Amino acid sequence: MTRIQQIRQRLAELDAECIRLADIEDITPEDDAKLTEHVSERTALVTELGPLEVREQQIEAIRNAPVGGVGDGSTINRDVHVVRKVDDIYDLDRSAFWGKDVDEVDSDLNGRAMKAVETTRGLDDANKELLTRRLEAETGNVKVDEDFRFRGLAEHIVRTGSPTYRTAFRKYLRGDSGSWTDAERASMSLTAANGGNTLPYLLDPSIILLNSGVINPFRQISTIKSGNQNVWHGVSSAGVTAEWLAEATEVADASPTVALITITAAKGSAWIQATTEFYEDGNIDSEIGMLVADAKNTLEATAFATGSGSGQPQGIVTACGLVTASRLSGVSLTGGIASTGVLNISDIYALDNDLPPRYRPGASWVANKSIYNQIRRLGDTANNQSTFWVDLGGGLPAQLIGYPAYQSSAMDSSIVSGSSDDVLVLGDFRNYFIYDRLGIQIAFEPMVKGAGFRPTGHVGWWAHWRTGAGASTEQTAAFRLLRL
């Protein structure tokens, strides 16, 4: 008996046993544990079966095909015994890349991903432009491991963007993986992990803009990196100092100081529960995407502003608050004109004056809307009206003394004397890094049970992802934080 036959026989046995246990009205803790064990074993076997069935179909096609082709635009390589369609942009079979160097693989993958983005239904022009820019930024940085698995955004888009994958994922969300076709089962087996499956990139809020339930500007203005590792490593430098040089004079050593940037991805999760009636009648796949996006965006809005950096992303306010040179006090800035806990016009200009010139061309303000309203009130008098009121009169993002102004609903919304409120950040947010470990995983729970181990009439989905953010001490030189 072949391994495929063994798996199919065992799956039939498990299916019958799972149905029997699920139909027990007052299920005992022992039977409930047994059901959980059977479901886990079944998931593992289905994951193993998918690639084996695809391989079986490929070999059968080779046996039945004439030498040189199979008549549908496919080609046969008798050395590796693989059949692939030459126009299939979603084909990530290793044989499609054998014989190519890393640069060729990189170009091929990015070309496929860009074509997928351009032809995917449901993507608006803004997201297509966003994804194209990110793919262009990653070109030349493809990672290929020893098993010839690819690492990066292009691979993720190709792997989770095919129509086959999306239909398979839709069935998975509805607990209908038993009706997967062989192609759907094979596509899902490539992303299965920890009992769940990866969201199609079209529904992934780390990759496209789905939701703005809270005001979270950081993904718009910061540097976004992505990968398949837990930690992202980068480097930064203050640059090279040039000099005027007299004839026959030895040049000075202007070697730059290079600092290591390390961003560790922290785990975020969301539990989504619905009644069986909603589950049976609703458009689950589109609803799940929006619900995950809302939960993730809300969680990140606070983390990117004020996150501690321990078990969660480090917020820009936290990073700047740790560096004396990047943290300015309103009292010292205004030469004693302002009192503690009072925002003054001089504070606004002082942050601008203190920001190093190299960071001013790309700088932006970030603050709570309530703080912007206090700044507006600084222009209530006739002498100051043109300074602030006109710039902020057109809504946000507008400008404040020449810099774009963005809202963060997670930053301090009030100024209380003696409380050291961090109310306003000015800086070049290209020096604040957000790192996404690619792939939001979704695990489906078909039967939510109550305290008595009985069904509650609900189903659930557990979503989890990993994201990190932060700015090193060297990078905080690009920011100034106002503390009152």
Kindly report, residue by residue over 94-144, the tens digit of the pLDDT.
Answer: 555 555 666 777 778 888 889 989 888 778 888 888 888 888 877 655 555
Over the stretch 63-72, which tens digit does the pLDDT of each residue have?
A: 555 444 444 4
CA distance from start to end of the chain: 75
Q: Encode pLDDT of 166-206 as tens digits.
A: 888 888 888 888 888 888 888 887 777 666 788 888 888 87
pLDDT above 90 as % of the chain: 24
* 195-240+256-484: CATH topology: phage-related protein like fold (3.90.1690)
Of 21-25, 61-65, 123-127, 297-301, the range with the lowest mean pLDDT is 61-65
How far apart are alpha carbons 181 and 253 in whole angstroms? 65
Q: Which amino acid is at 450?
A: G
- pTM as predicted: 0.71
Residue 159 vs residues 36, 188, 190, 232: alpha-carbon distances, Å: 29, 9, 8, 22
SS3 148: coil
Cα separation, 231 vs 243, in Å, equals 38
The span from the CA of 48 to the CA of 407, in Å, is 48
Q: How far does CA 89 lie from the centroid of its chain?
A: 23
Closest CA to 206 of 316, 292, 145, 284: 292
Question: For residue 323, which phi and psi values (nearest 5 degrees)?
Answer: -115, 115
Among 58, 53, 17, residue whose Cα is nearest residue 34: 17
The predicted pLDDT at position 4 comes to 85
Say how far apart CA 105 and CA 99 lie, in whole Å. Answer: 10
- The boundaries of every CATH 3.90.1690 domain in the chain are 195-240+256-484
What mean pLDDT value characterizes the chain? Answer: 80
Report yes or no: 158 and 90 within 8 Å, Cβ to Cβ: yes
Angle value at C-alpha 56, between 50 and 60, nearest 5 degrees:
150
CA distances from 329 to 207, 333, 334, 421, 427 (A): 37, 6, 9, 10, 16
Q: How far apart are CA 426 and CA 472, in angstroms?
A: 16
* Residue length of the chain: 484
pLDDT at 102: 66
Cα 139 to Cα 155: distance, rounded to the nearest angstrom: 12
Residue 73 reports pLDDT greater than 50:
no
Proportion of the chain in helix, strand, coil states, percent, rounded to 5 = 45, 20, 35
Query: Which pLDDT score is estimated for 71?
Result: 42
